[in-house]
Amino acid sequence: MERVVPPDAARLLGEARRVVVFTGAGISAESGVPTFRDDLTGLWARFDAQRLATPEAFDADPDLVWGWYEWRRARVRRAEPNPGHLATAAIQTRVPGSVVITQNVDDLHERAGSRAPIHLHGSLFAPRCVAAAAHPAAFPSTGDGEAIDPEEGRRTPPPRCTRCGALVRPGVVWFGEALPEAALAAAVQAAAACDVLLTVGTSGVVYPAAEIPTVAARSGAAVIQVNPEPTPLDQVCTVNLRGAAAHVLPALVAAAWEAR
């Protein structure tokens, strides 16, 4: 069925000079990437995702935690960017200076062509060592996890950093950890300076990331939400578009360029 984009949404995006696209788990789920708490099958089905994603869990059983993240990374590698990711990249191409901010730890925005997305929660593809300096880790390649069974997974000892010898940990933000200061500051700055912010596939309940659309609204930007269901962000949005990002975003982008 053909989806009609409201003229006001198309006009807002079409006239925008500074756009921020803020994405959450919903856009990646449309590529077949399970959401965090759904990513529990095979070996991992008997574990609580929230308990695996902590510094304490890694300290207590690094083989278990590293194996889970390697398994997740392998599953992401099998996914492909969907039309929502491609539409996001198209916005950056058509509106120079646009910024992508994501809560997702996958690399689907990069693979779709987006430039330098800000990862508020880190990335599965940017591991770092556990040493005090917490520098990005260098370690022998394991083939990006192709050997990890996509259904069952396995316990896997973490590698050692070839730079300092410390254990390598996933480069994601765990429960109890602060968001990367530089990423959060860049996201807030971009949201405060934009004239349109698109919030796509995010629940609006994970803070402090969920504050980003509110920062934009308070700074006078129009906030357009794309989500199949209502969220707590509805009240700060100028326009709410109900539907999947893979369908709504391409239609919105097409209508916006026609309105320019």
Query: DSSP string covering 6-70, please?
Result: PHHHHHHHHH-SSEEEEE-HHHHHTTTPPPGGG---GGGGGS-HHHHSSHHHHHH-HHHHHHHHH
Q: How far apart are CA 99 and CA 186, in angstroms?
A: 10
DSSP reduced 3-state for 188: helix
Coil, strand or helix: which one is 224?
Answer: strand
Residues annotated as part of the active site = 121
Does 15 appear as a known binding residue? no
Determine if residue 164 is labeled as part of a ligand binding site. no
- Count CA within 13 A, CB hemisphere, residue 50: 1
Asked whether residue 93 is marked as a ligand-binding residue, the answer is no
Alpha-carbon dihedral angle through residues 178, 183, 189, 195, given to the nearest 10 degrees: -110
The annotation status of 104 as a binding-site residue, yes or no, is yes
Tokens 């260098």 correspond to 138
161 among the known binding-site residues? yes
Q: Is 106 annotated as a binding residue?
A: yes
Q: Is 202 assigned to a binding site?
A: yes
**203 annotated as ligand-binding:** yes
245 annotated as a binding-site residue: yes
CA distance 142 to 80: 21
- 176 annotated as ligand-binding: no
Annotated binding-site members for NAD(+) = 103-106, 201-203, 227-229, 245
Annotated binding-site members for substrate = 69, 72
Annotated binding-site members = 69, 72, 103-106, 129, 161, 201-203, 227-229, 245
Annotated binding-site members for Zn(2+) = 129, 161
